[in-house]
Chain A
Amino acid sequence: MQFAARYQDGLVADVRDAQCVIDLAADPVALVILDAGTREVIDRWPEADCYLLHSRMMELRIGNRRKPAGARLGVSGIADMRSALGVLPALAKAQRRERWTQARILVLATAALASVVVAYLFGIPLLADRLVAYVPPGWETKIGDTAAVQIERQLTGGKGYVLCDPDPQSPANRAIAGFVARVFDGLDSPFVPNVTVVRSDVPNAFALPGGRAFYLSALIQATRTPDEFAGVLAHELGHVYYRHGMQTLIASSTTGLLVGFVLGDMTGLSVAGAVGSSLIDNRFSRQDEAQADRFAAETAARLGFSPQGLVDLLERVARDDSFSRALALFSNHPLTDQRRAALEALGLSSAPTAPAFTDAQWQAIRDMCPPPPPPPLPKLSSAL
C-alpha cells in the first residue's frame, strides 16, 4: 500500500510531491517518503513518531514529533487518505487519545473554576469578617464621612439634610443617644455610633462605615410603638457593630475579579458582568441583613424590649409583593417573610419586660419631625 502526499521538511518553504510507502521490515516500522518523480528516498518517518493534525475536510495532515515543528505530509483525495490511515493505524488511535486529553483538561478546568466560585460565595463573607478587624477604625470613619457626603447629595438633590432636631441636648436626641449607649455597652466596639434623624419622604434608615447611622423622618411617622423604633435602630446598630459597610467594600471589589474571570471580560463593562456582580454582591448583602436582624433580636432580649417590633414595622413599610418575590435574588434585602421566619426561629421572643423608651421619651422622638403643616388656605378675595 502506498499513497501520494505533499512533503514539507519544515526547514525550507518548499513543497515536494512524494509517494509514501510503509516499510514493515524496518525496526521500528517506518514510512518511507520517496520523491514522486525520481523515486529517491527523501525521508524516513518511524510510525510511532507520526501524528495527525487538524485539517480541513478531505485532507489529512501528518506531522512528526522528532522532525522540525513544521515538517508535514499533506494527503488529499479520498483514496490516498484511506490508504494513509490504513498504513498508519496508530494515527487514528493517537487522535482519539488527544481528544480525550482535551476533554480531560476541559473537565478539570471547569471543576477547578466551579470550586473557586463556590469557595468565593461561601468564603468571602467569612474572609471579609476577619479582614475588617485589620482595617484601622480611623480609616473606616473617613470612608464613612465620604460616603455620607455622597448620599446626602443624592438624597436631597444637593440641598443638604434638614435635621429634625439640631440640638444634641434636646430630650429626643438624648433619649436616642441613651439607647445607643445601652446597646453598645460592653460590646467592645471601636466606634461610638452617631444616629441622626433627618427629614425625608422616604421611609428608611441606614448605617454607614465608621458608625454613622441615619433615620429618616418618614419612617418615624410610620412607627407606632417605641419597640418598633428600637428594633429598627438596633438593626442599624448591628450593621455598625459588624462593620458591614467595610465588609461590603472589601467583598464587592473582589467580586468583579471573579465575574470578570468567568465571563472573560475583566473590564466588567458588559451587561452580563454587571448582572453577575449584582447577583453575588446582593447575596452577601442579604446575609449581612440577616446578621443585623439577629443582632437586633439579641439586643432586644438583652435590654428586655420586644423584638417583634422590627418585623411589624417592616411589614408596614416594605411589604412583599409579587414583584419583589419574583426578583428576590436581585434584592439587597431578604424578603420580609423570610426575616420574620428567621427571627421567630431564634426563639428569643420572650415576654418583654420593659419598653425600650419611656412614654415621655417616645413622645419627644415622635414630635421631632412633625409632618409639615398643610398649605395655607387661599385667601378669599372679595367676591362681592
Chain B
Amino acid sequence: MAETASAARVGRVEFTGSRHELLAIIVRGYALMLPTIGLYRFWQATWKRRFYWQNTVIDGEPLEYTGTASQLLAGFFFALAFFLPIYVALFALSMQQSGLVAAGYLGIAAVIWFLMGYAIYRARDFRLSRTLWRGIRFDMRGNAWAYALRRFLWSIAMVATAGLAYPWMASSLWRYRWRNTWYGDRQFAISGNWRAFAGSYYAAYLVNLAAIGGTAAWIASTRDIVTVDGLPAPGPLSLLACLGCVALLALSLAWYRSRTASRMLSTVSLGEARLAVKIGAGALFGQFVVYALGVAALLMLLALAVIVVAAAVYAAATQAGRPPDADTLMSPFQSGAVNLALLILGYLVVLGALGLLAEIVLRLGWWRLLARGSTIEGVDSLRTVRAAPEDRALIGQGLADALNVGAY
C-alpha cells in the first residue's frame, strides 16, 4: 500500500533565483575582470553556477555545485597542452606553399571541431560530477573520445545531406549523453529517438527555407533594390520582408527548441522515477523578443553616448565660433596609450553589456523555463540511491573553456 502511494507521488521542481541576484554576480565579475587580467572569469563562472544550482530546488531540496574556481584554473592550464601541438603545426604551416597552407588550415579546423566534441562531453562530466542533490553526486561515464568521434562523423553526414540528417544526429548524441549519466549508483535511461526531433525540425526547416527563398526570389523578380553608397541594399518593402524572415526564424526556433526539449526530456528516466517536461513555445519566444528589444535599446544608448562624446569633443575644439579643423579635433587623441585605453573600454562596455543581456534574459530564462516545466513522477523511489566513489577529473572543463564551448 505504502509502496504504490509513494510511487505515485509527483515531485516538483522550482527555481527561486532572481534576476537582480544574477546581475549583481555579473557586475561584480566585470569589475574584477580587468585588475586580474581576465583570470577572474574562473571565479565568475563558479559563482554563476552556484547561483543556478542552489536556486534549483527539486522536491524541496536544492542542487549543490561543489566545483571550485581553482579547479577551473588548473583545468585551463591542462588544456594548453592540447593547443601547443596545434600552434607548432600552425607555425610550420605558415612557411609552406600556399596550396598546402589552405589544406593545412582545413585540417586544423577539423581537429579543433573534433576536439570541441571531446570538450563538450568533458565539460558536462565536470559539471555533473560536481553536482549534489540530497548529498548524492551525479556523474558522467562513457568515453569522451567516442562521443567526439560520434559527433564528428555525424557532422560530416550533416554537411553531406544539407542538414537533413540532423534528427538522427541529435538523437544519437542525446542518447549517448543521457545513457552515460548517473545519479549515485543509478543509471539514467532515455527512450526518445529521432522521431522526437524530426517533425518539428523538418517543419521549421521547410518554413524557413520557403520564407527566405521566397523573399529572395521576390526581391530578385521585382528588383526592389536601392543603392546606398554604391552598395546594393534591399528596398523598404524587401527590408520589411527580411525582418519578417528573422521574426519567423525566431518563432520557429522557439517552437522547435521548446518542443524537442519537452519531448526528449520527457523520455528520461532514472530507475522508477520519470522526468516529465512541458515548456511553452510562447514563453520562449517572449524571451527572444525581450532580448531583441534589449539589444535595440542598448544600441540606441551606445549611439547616444557616442553622439554626446563627439559633441563634447567638437565643442571643446571649437574656438570663438570658428568650426575646428581635423587637427584640432584629433588633438585630445594624441596619446597612443589613451586611445588604447578608450578602445579597450569601449570594446568591454559593448561586449559586456551584450553578454549581460544574453545571460540575464536568455540563459536564466531558459533555465527557469526548464526547471518550472519539469516534474518527477515516482520521486520517492530515488530515496534508495546510494553514493558512488569519487571522481576528481580536472582537464575536461579546461579544454571547454579554451574552446569557448563551456556553457553555464
Contacts and interface: CB of A to CB of B under 8 A. Distances in A.
Q: Do A and B come from one complex?
A: yes
Interface of A: 6, 8-15, 53-57, 59, 61, 68-72, 74, 102, 105-106, 109-110, 113-114, 117, 139, 142-143, 146, 149-150, 249-250, 253-254, 256-257, 260-267, 271-272, 275, 279, 322-323, 325-329
Interface of B: 16-17, 21, 35-41, 43, 50, 54-55, 60-62, 64, 66, 69-70, 73, 76, 79-80, 83-84, 87, 90-91, 94-98, 112, 132-137, 183-184, 326-327, 330-331, 333-334, 336-337, 339-340, 343, 347, 351, 382-387, 390, 401-404
A330 to B, nearest CB: 8
Contact of B64 (A61, A249, A262): A61
Query: When A and B form their complex, which 10 residue pairs have the shortest distance between CB atoms, in order from nearest?
Result: A8-B135, A70-B135, A322-B330, A329-B336, A253-B91, A56-B54, A13-B385, A328-B336, A266-B402, A13-B134
B330 A323 contact: yes
A322 B326 CA distance: 8
Contacts of B96: 146
Q: Is the interface of A mostly helix, strand, loop or mixed?
A: helix
Contact of A72 (B87, B135, B340): B135
28 contacts: A8-B135, A9-B135, A12-B384, A55-B62, A55-B64, A56-B16, A70-B387, A72-B64, A102-B43, A106-B36, A109-B36, A110-B36, A146-B98, A249-B94, A253-B90, A254-B87, A256-B87, A257-B87, A261-B80, A264-B41, A267-B404, A272-B351, A325-B330, A326-B330, A326-B339, A327-B339, A328-B336, A329-B339
A56 B65 CA distance: 11
Contact of B39 (A54, A106, A325): A106
A264 B401 contact: yes
A267 B331 CA distance: 37
Given A15-B61, A106-B40, A264 B135 contact: no
A4 B314 CA distance: 67
Given A53-B64, A102-B43, A329 B330 contact: no
Contacts of B403: 266-267
Contacts of A275: 343, 347
B345 to A, nearest CB: 12
Contacts of A254: 87
A261 B83 CA distance: 10
B32 to A, nearest CB: 8
Contact of B95 (A6, A59, A143): A143
Contacts, number: 161
A264 B76 contact: yes
A13 B39 contact: no
Contacts of B136: 10, 12-13, 70
B144 to A, nearest CB: 18
A271 to B, nearest CB: 7
B76 A68 contact: no
Contact of A329 (B17, B21, B340): B340
A12 B382 CA distance: 9
Contacts of B135: 8-11, 13, 68, 70-72
Nearest to A140: B95
Given A14-B384, A271-B347, A327-B339, 12 more contacts: A8-B135, A10-B136, A54-B50, A57-B21, A70-B134, A105-B70, A106-B36, A106-B39, A109-B73, A260-B83, A322-B333, A326-B333
A262 B55 CA distance: 31
Contacts of A12: 136, 383-387
A256 B84 CA distance: 11
Contacts of B76: 261, 264
